[in-house]
Structure 1
Amino acid sequence: MAYYSTHPISLIAFCVVSTGTFWLTRYIWKGLSGGPKAPLPPGPRLLPVVGSLFDIDVSEPWLAYTRWAKKYGDIVHFRVLGKDHIVINSETVARELLEKRSKSYSDRPSVATNHLFGLDFNTALLPYSDRWKSHRKIYHQTFRPESVVVYRAVQFQKAHILLLSLLESPDNFMMHLQTYGASIIMSIVYGYEITHRNDPVVANIQKVIHLAAEGLTPERAALLGTFPFLRNIPAWFPGAAFKRNALVCQKLAPEVFDAPIEHAKKNMVDPSPSTTSAESLVSQILAQAPDQKTLQAMKDCAASSFLESTLSIFVLAMVLHPDVQERAQMEIDTVIGEGRLPDSNDRPSLPYVEALFRELFRWHTAVPLSVPTVAAHEDVFNGYLIPKGAIITTNQWAMAYDEDRYPDPYRFHPERHLTEDGKLATDSGAPAFGFGRRICPGRYIGDASVWIALASMLALFRFEKAVDSEGQKVEIEPVFVTGVARHLLAFPCSIKSRSAEREELVRSCFDGATNKDV
């Protein structure tokens, strides 16, 4: 049986506490509401304290966001551990907010995981500041459309090295694609020439990319921000894999970003015949005798590449869709012939290959969510309130799988990007590089590097399902490692040359190369 005290002091205390609670609640509510305001965008249920945390799979949050998009619309609000989140699910809304109102949506949130993983200096993660502006200026001067033309020779050479590697050891195709992506960036930015597919610099880059992709999700950051003690959990503690990964990333990050800078400086003094550092971005900056601040900016601006993710999905698509592969190869054979390989000048003459390229960025997009920004101040859009400090995420997955724009979106269908007369449709591609001031500055390099690689591979190889010891085709069940980005794990397939003349052309360019070379 419960007993309640009737002592006067107890009653007074109860009244004081009750009255105080009432007025405190009213004061807080009044302070938060600040008078009549627009409503928040619609969204899922909000549980006390945790908000919508339990409705999100932190390994694939874009799937929950896309479900919400179908139910609530193009702009969705939810809250995780007291933090407001806004998810943008349509390209139209993304352009309205992130481009037309870019000044309000260009800052980055302060994320605990960035510092924990030793990556808070990276350009993509920097807050909107003078430091970020200096990095952006360097990128835009070097990687604007008219400037990247000078890098075509590098991309062409690396694509041919990729072809040779696939001829020599096709079973290691995932490793070759990783090396291709890293070699493009390392050559253009640092003049560092990768000479071996087990290059330690490439290995470290891949480790940092994969650790960051898994660890730097906003949902995981929210947990660490709300419960700071989790950052101090010992690495040996059960369930603290994130802490162990963070320590590894902290150690590797300086090596990844500093060692290539030192390589470029050394080769300016004593250039090696096998390097191109004299033309690299870093060598150009160093030749201008920059101060320490500029040099530090260049270290911080070091790029990492997700090219291999997109190209591995290309191989998967070709294996699963031989009809698409055959049509693209027929176009290449008709336009280019047998005597050479495609180059960037052929791109306008290959509309079906271009349609395939666009569909590749849409289907199984490698980067489903943008790196989040933060609302610099309170805003109202389409009658909805966007609170100051809200985390803004663009859901590129939902945009790529918009059934109104892309009927039967899970089907790999390049024809959706063509008109009835076989010409390229206008603006049919799904966004893959972000929006506004925070759009990927290396998008033109990435675009051209993916295109020359896939066009070259289509010209030389036939991609098919692998065959087991009993002569049966091996079915593929794609498995992705998820996080900030999606990485396709290796799968069995057959990659064979389909043109003896083109094969000889590739081999003749690299006489003396072995299967240990890139």
Structure 2
Amino acid sequence: MFPSVDGRLAILAVLPASFVVITALKRFIRNRQNKLPPGPVPLPLLGNVFSVDTKAPWLTYTEWAAAYGDLFFVRLLGQEVVVINSQHVAEALLDKRSRIYSDRPYLATVDPFGWSVVFAFTGYGDEWRLCRRLFHQTFRPDSSLKFRPMQINQARRMIANLIDDPQHYHSHFATFSSSVAMSVTYGYQTNHRDDPLVRIAENALAIGLAALTPERAALLKAFPFLLRLPDWCWGSSIKRDARTSTNHMREMTDVPFRHAQDHMVSMVSDNLHRMEKINQASRLIFETALKKAAVSAIVGSYETTTSTLMTFALAMVLYPDVQRHAQAEIDSVVGRDRLPTFEDRTSLPYIESVLRETLRWQPVAPLGVPHVTTSDDTYDGYFIPKGTIVMCNVWGISRDEKRYPEASRFMPERFLDVNGGLTDDNPAGYVFGFGRRACPGRYAADASLWSAVVTMLATVEFSSAKDDQGKVIEFTPQFTTGITWYLVFLYHSIFPSLIVSSL
């Protein structure tokens, strides 16, 4: 005798619940049999999600590192997460065991927000390798050397904009940060100010970056119905943000790509010529990978370089002695008859230490981009299960008081030895990521930052804004949060004024 309709519905209702219970039971038994890294006690089902500051989770993880060590375990709803809090452990796992740690986790916010076009979030496999190869052909260390004249020229153009219109320094930083990547990738020359493609990139990044953290992705994974709520319903803002973000990301991908198709000299156009020699099926795969590599160059250059330059400006305002010391070194080495060039870089160790300290002081990506394990692993006696999200707490590394005494202070001298030479400690070794997923544009980004920093120090002075009575306007730096840590100045009330120094 067949069960009734109600009976069949009851069976269908019980099956998913049984699956969840069985999966949780298997996980519990496995974890009891293996020693997981230490960590805070999770709540049933919810895990540690309500104990984490979702706006700045790296602050929570840094506090927990003091209690649980350089490698600890947390649970975000149903997701197992391991947090790395030292460069040594990160290198041991992400570099030396990259075969296991090179994949990306499923983040429930990537596709709805249109960010699948950025290959930093692509899973480890053939598509990622093709994207990486296309990117590496243009931005590998030896190829990046030919960008240096352009980087110096763009830095000087930025200075002209800063002197002429100092209040909109963020816009000038963004134009500079995007100019090299847009020229190399798409053959596009940015306008001196208010460039339309730079504005497209700014709009695209404004929404998406805040949604791409594992903590926020876990919430959407747990409550996917939020993407199906009517627009008028409470809680539907995430759906509207996702739709807006997708439209902006599509625009940022397609508009410059069409420009490149009409120009002959760029990463995109060069590879489009190569596509003519392959069959139609391979051509579609190749074009998709090329678009991802190209838009990733724009996302990476815009966000990281602009944010770092904003941090540099803040440091110069808050630590004027550092600014004066740096300017004195330029005057003594370069003189006042010309501007610095890359040939001067090795002779300017204090400038180099300023750049290193800028990277360390307020790291742009405090948790980097998360990895995920592709198989079980054991490290230092601790079991790390397959499918575990692995995050490197860059913020925690940068705040290690044993390595960086008075870590919250901006102190470039920490990277100089007693003879005034540079030490072997370079924060670029951890702020640009680890292993096979380390930032492939690191060397071009480093050169762009150096050219901007040294040119600004040689030509302008940063100081606090003053009111009508000549008193300094006190302000508290504000940051946006997400997968990046982005400094924001409020233009109408608090911004550093830029004063031209005599050359």
TM-score (norm 1): 0.87
The residue aligned with 2:52 is: 56
Deviation at 1:196, TM superposition (A): 4.6
* Structure 1 equivalent of residue 177 of structure 2: 181
- Paired residue for 2:364? 366
Deviation at 1:210, TM superposition (A): 1.8
Distance 2:21 2:480 in 1: 45
**Percent of aligned pairs sharing the same letter:** 43
Residue among 393, 401, 408 paired with 2:399: 401
Please, which runs of 5 or more residues in structure 2 have no aligned partner? 1-19, 277-282
Residue by residue, what CA displacement relative to the aligned partner does 1:7-46 show, whole Å, maximum 9, x if unpaired? Answer: xxxxxxxxxxxxxxxxx98997467535973311111120
Alignment correspondent of 1:292: 284
1:250–1:34: structure 2 CA closer, same or farther, 3 Å change rule? closer
SS at structure 1 position matched to 2:205: helix
Q: Is the 8 A contact 1:122 1:300 kept in 2?
A: yes
Q: Match for residue 11 of structure 2?
A: none
> C-alpha distance in 2, partners of 1:56/1:70?
15
Length-normalised TM-score, structure 2: 0.90
**How far 1:389 moved relative to its partner?**
0.6
CA gap of 1:266–1:94, structure 2 versus 1, over 3 A, is same
Query: Could you give the per-residue CA deviations for residues 315-356 of structure 1, whole angstroms, max 9, x where no partner exists?
Result: 110011111000100000111111211111211110000000
> CA 1:382–1:494 in 2, change beyond 3 Å: closer, same or farther?
same
SS of the aligned residue for 1:43 comes to coil
CA contact (8 A) 1:373 1:391 kept: yes
Q: Which runs of 4+ in 1 moved over 6 A?
A: 24-28
Q: Quick one: which of 321, 324, 332 aligns to 1:323? A: 321
SS of the aligned residue for 1:393 comes to strand
Give 1:436's aligned amino acid.
G
Map of 2:487 onto structure 1:
488
In the TM superposition, what are the counterparts of 1:409-428 in structure 2 within 5 Å? 409-428=407-426
Q: 1:282 aligns with which of 268, 276, 280?
A: 268
Deviates more, 1:400-409 or 1:152-161: 152-161
State the Cα distance separating 1:377 from its structure 2 match.
1.0
1:350 aligns with 2:348: yes
Q: 1:289 to 1:59 in 2, by over 3 A?
A: same
Deviations 1:42-89 (A, max 9, x none): 111201111101111111010000001111000110101111010011
Q: Which residue number corresponds to residue 247 of structure 1?
A: 243
Aligned-residue CA RMSD in angstroms? 1.9
Which residue number in structure 1 is paired with residue 473 of structure 2? 474
Distance 2:214 2:401 in 1: 27
Provide the residue aligned with 1:193 in structure 2: 189
Radius of gyration: which is bigger? 1
Distance 2:418 2:27 in 1: 58
Counterparts of 1:189 and 1:225 in 2: how far apart (Å)? 34
Matches of 2:21 and 2:212, distance apart in 1 = 36
1:131 aligned to which of 114, 127, 134: 127
Partner of 1:453: 452
Partner of 1:5: none
Local SS of the residue matching 1:146: helix
Corresponding position: 1:112 with 2:98: no
Aligned pair partner of 1:218 in 207, 214, 218: 214
Report the Cα distance in structure 2 between the residues aligned to 1:498 and 1:366, rounded to whole angstroms: 29
AA at the equivalent of 2:499: K
Deviation digits for residues 354-395 of structure 1, max 9, x if unmatched?
A: 000000000011110111111111111101111111111110
In structure 2, the residue matched to 1:436 is 435
**Structure 1 residue 200, shift from structure 2 partner:** 2.1
| Partner residue in 2 for 1:101 | 97
The amino acid of 1:359's aligned partner reads E
Instruction: Give yes or no for contact 2:226–2:235 (8 Å, CA) kept in 1.
Output: no
Local SS of the residue matching 2:330: helix
Q: 1-side partners of 2:31 and 2:201: how far apart?
A: 51
Specify the alignment match of 2:377 in structure 1: 379
Judge conservation of contact 2:461–2:501 (CA < 8 Å) in 1. Answer: yes
2:261 corresponds to which residue? Answer: 265
1:144 aligns with 2:119: no
**How much has 1:217 moved relative to structure 2?**
1.2
- Confirm or deny: 8 A CA contact 2:275 2:286 kept in the other structure: no
Gaps of 5+ in 1: 1-23, 269-277, 502-518
| Closer, same or farther: CA 196–457 of 1 in aligned 2, 3 Å | closer
